[in-house]
Structure 1
């Protein structure tokens, strides 16, 4: 039960995150009226109270000598400030020195009545204060003051007066908190996706970083499980490659004995159709074993030992041989390869990969083959095209699998084992590159290789 409610669970993190976010926003919005109420009921400052007291004393003194002056009293320029205005009301709240109460005055009088004691309040353009209670001839009066001034108002009053702005800020704040939560959960998931993509592209040594693995929630558990899976896959693939290499080496011993026995039989004058067939199959088996060993060697290349070479220099012999082969078959080979293209690579494995592609293109082309290379950003793209029959669209991805041969005549007539393109893909993957095949709109096959430089 304790594990179900562990704070490291994603469910608990999501629940607490959204709950705290909504609670914080609700609390902030709910506090605005309370803050405004406390500000509205601010005590009357002593200086303003003294102004009201002096004015009330003058009224009392003047009314005692001249009672008729009380009704003519206007309340202008009192308290030493020419902009200050004082208002006199009777015990029923009627204004005695003006025609009628303004809306601001009525609002302030209600606030003071609710507070039950003299207060001051800053409106948008006026500072209102009062009341100061006093009596003249047994009648009760109250003095109120207004001081026009644009004093800075507290931020919470600005928010309280602008409901839409407050709502927008609340939405923005909640969005920020949710974005932080989403980033906290999304960052390790992106790292998991990148590691999975790298593993799918053949980088068997790629793992999720330690920081993600140390997380105590389900994402950390998933990262550890992914690394364990990647370790198992890498071990299985290496075991498979070692098995292919070991079996190929072991097959060469009886094959060598068989070829030696055939040579001795022919030396003794033994000839025949069956013996010739055995010799042919032995040669094919020797070629197959060589292809398997090459595939194993390419997959086990050490990427750290790659050096930077010029691509044209690496492929010079391969391109010369391809031009000769195309010329013998009365086909045209066009090569567009700048001399300044350089990238880190293994010359032998990359040359073998390009050689396999060129031989296939020359074999199946009707009349023209084209090889071009160009640098785009941090990658070098190599494209090999021919004008042959092409391949069925459903088999374009499968042709790079070992021992796969398309159902079209493009491979069935060759008598191959389907290892040439597998060796090419293994070499490209060992160089952290990508390879893809596509049919040209005008007919023929196009192979695209992208290698980091």
Structure 2
């Protein structure tokens, strides 16, 4: 059964506030009833005993001789030796016995002066009770009884009298309520945080558990899931559009290349036909790389595996070293160990391969690759001794279709998508990519990837 009051975060705070307020009110109402320092009715056993004592004293006074005041003084003196104290006043409140000033008695008789309704009240450790009517001659008198109170005060009275204990009890009472409130708030907040982190890594999946808990978090979770679905629809629409464009462009490109081949067969080779065939080939390559980038951005979270740097890149680096040697260049990748990684193997291989082949293409003689592991991440440095990139353009080379005018023009055969693919793949694995001027004189690319810290 669900209570509407607790479906809202504000409702839960409101409920805790009122529950605390009810506890305070209950304590304030209960305090006068249980506090012996306020006036109370006398328990029945004590009441009967005091009334019998008053009746007995009246009989003794009737049998005794001498002035009544003197006899009452003697009774108060005798009672003191028995561990309690008797007080006698006139019906008008004038103290008859014992002699001397008594603040507790004077305060008590101002509030308790009706023998038909005797009361009791605690003054420190001294309990006053009365009045009880004593029939004496020539006029009745009122008797009050004072005695040492040996019972400890109620537990909560002791707490209220000691601020530190009161603070401790308040914390003990309020802590479970506050912990419950914190739990009610942090559980859905943590779920929302985890969902946001998944989206930040490219996992655009709706989470039904976000739509549970307090009403405010349910609304936020529903909006978050709606946003994720909208992003998925946008990405899917973009992917379908690119696939359709690719299909529509490849058909005329195929016919164009077939027509070029037929023209070559009939007319022989010519510079014009060679240029047409080259541009068609470049256009087809560009479309393929663009589709690869699109698929990477939309499906980069699939097929993630626990792997290591050695088994992931060793074969690719050996092939790159052989390719560099064929171009009369030297490639050195230092030490490659089995540092743990988690991700899509195809994307991680493609990310490093694009940078390495770029360095081979534009380097003059030397390409250096260094691996530097840290506490929770792996850094990869790729340096070449080519012409490099102007400092003003270092931040732009990871943009799709961007070409540096000095080294990456159309005559180089590049499409401007290789580094964009690297940037997309690394960022989908929560890594970073940056470019700077290399100590060798060319371009330096720095890749950073998080190491896999999950237990095997």
TM-score normalized with structure 1 length:
0.74
Q: Secondary structure at the match of 1:136?
A: coil
Aligned to 1:281: 279
CA distance in structure 1 between the partners assigned to 2:114 and 2:369 by the alignment = 93
Alpha carbons 1:362, 1:386 under 8 Å: kept: no
Q: Tell whether 2:115 aligns with 1:119.
A: no
Correspondent of 1:435 among 420, 431, 434:
431
Correspondent of 2:314 among 301, 313, 316:
316
Q: Structure 1 residues 66 and 394, CA, compared in 2 at 3 Å: closer, same or farther? A: farther
Aligned to 2:222: 224
CA distance in structure 2 between the partners assigned to 1:387 and 1:394 by the alignment = 17
Correspondent of 1:423 among 415, 421, 424:
421
CA distance in structure 2 between the partners assigned to 1:292 and 1:17 by the alignment = 52
Aligned to 2:50: 52
Aligned to 1:241: 239
Deviates more, 1:216-225 or 1:161-170: 161-170
Correspondent of 1:254 among 252, 255, 260:
252
Q: Secondary structure at the match of 1:446?
A: strand
Q: Structure 1 residues 116 and 324, CA, compared in 2 at 3 Å: closer, same or farther? A: farther
CA distance in structure 2 between the partners assigned to 1:66 and 1:331 by the alignment = 135
1:411 CA drift (Å):
6.0
Q: Structure 1 residues 246 and 63, CA, compared in 2 at 3 Å: closer, same or farther? A: same
1:240 CA drift (Å):
1.8
Aligned to 1:447: 447
CA distance in structure 1 between the partners assigned to 2:437 and 2:281 by the alignment = 39
Aligned to 2:29: 34
Deviation readout 1:281-330 (Å, 9 max, x if unpaired): 12322321331343345456586655544431231122113445666575
1:98 CA drift (Å):
5.7
Deviation readout 1:167-209 (Å, 9 max, x if unpaired): 88668867865775565455434433443443243212x2132
Q: Matched residue pairs, number?
A: 431
Report 1:21-170 matches (<5 A). Answer: 21-39=16-34, 40-57=38-55, 59-64=57-62, 65-67=64-66, 68-74=70-76, 84-91=83-90, 92=93, 94=95, 96-97=97-98, 99-103=100-104, 108-109=108-109, 112=112, 117-121=117-121, 125-137=125-137, 138-155=139-156, 157-158=157-158, 160-161=160-161
Alpha carbons 1:312, 1:338 under 8 Å: kept: yes
Q: Structure 1 residues 202 and 100, CA, compared in 2 at 3 Å: closer, same or farther? A: same
CA distance in structure 1 between the partners assigned to 2:30 and 2:421 by the alignment = 75
**Structure 1, gaps ≥5 residues long:** 1-5
Correspondent of 1:295 among 293, 296, 321:
293
Aligned to 1:3: none
Coordinate RMSD, CA, aligned: 4.5
Alpha carbons 2:334, 2:370 under 8 Å: kept: yes
Alpha carbons 1:356, 1:421 under 8 Å: kept: yes
Q: Structure 1 residues 279 and 89, CA, compared in 2 at 3 Å: closer, same or farther? A: same
Q: Secondary structure at the match of 1:434?
A: coil
Q: Structure 1 residues 299 and 31, CA, compared in 2 at 3 Å: closer, same or farther? A: closer
Alpha carbons 1:48, 1:129 under 8 Å: kept: no
TM-score normalized with structure 2 length:
0.73
Q: Structure 1 residues 284 and 302, CA, compared in 2 at 3 Å: closer, same or farther? A: closer
Alpha carbons 1:245, 1:296 under 8 Å: kept: no
CA distance in structure 1 between the partners assigned to 2:166 and 2:449 by the alignment = 56
CA distance in structure 1 between the partners assigned to 2:271 and 2:303 by the alignment = 49
Deviation readout 1:26-48 (Å, 9 max, x if unpaired): 44444444323333343212332
Q: Structure 1 residues 233 and 333, CA, compared in 2 at 3 Å: closer, same or farther? A: same
Alpha carbons 2:87, 2:97 under 8 Å: kept: yes
CA distance in structure 2 between the partners assigned to 1:395 and 1:109 by the alignment = 97
Alpha carbons 1:120, 1:129 under 8 Å: kept: yes
Q: Structure 1 residues 332 and 193, CA, compared in 2 at 3 Å: closer, same or farther? A: same
1:140 CA drift (Å):
1.0
Alpha carbons 1:323, 1:333 under 8 Å: kept: yes
CA distance in structure 2 between the partners assigned to 1:107 and 1:363 by the alignment = 106
Report 1:392-403 matches (<5 A). Answer: 396=395, 402-403=400-401
Deviation readout 1:63-115 (Å, 9 max, x if unpaired): 4425434223445667xx96x42231312253723633255x55555554599
Aligned to 1:188: 188
CA distance in structure 1 between the partners assigned to 2:24 and 2:254 by the alignment = 88
Q: Structure 1 residues 26 and 225, CA, compared in 2 at 3 Å: closer, same or farther? A: closer
CA distance in structure 2 between the partners assigned to 1:184 and 1:125 by the alignment = 48
Q: Secondary structure at the match of 1:86?
A: strand
CA distance in structure 1 between the partners assigned to 2:264 and 2:249 by the alignment = 23
**Structure 2, gaps ≥5 residues long:** none
Deviates more, 1:326-335 or 1:286-295: 326-335
Q: Structure 1 residues 338 and 116, CA, compared in 2 at 3 Å: closer, same or farther? A: farther
Q: Structure 1 residues 127 and 88, CA, compared in 2 at 3 Å: closer, same or farther? A: closer
Q: Structure 1 residues 21 and 371, CA, compared in 2 at 3 Å: closer, same or farther? A: same
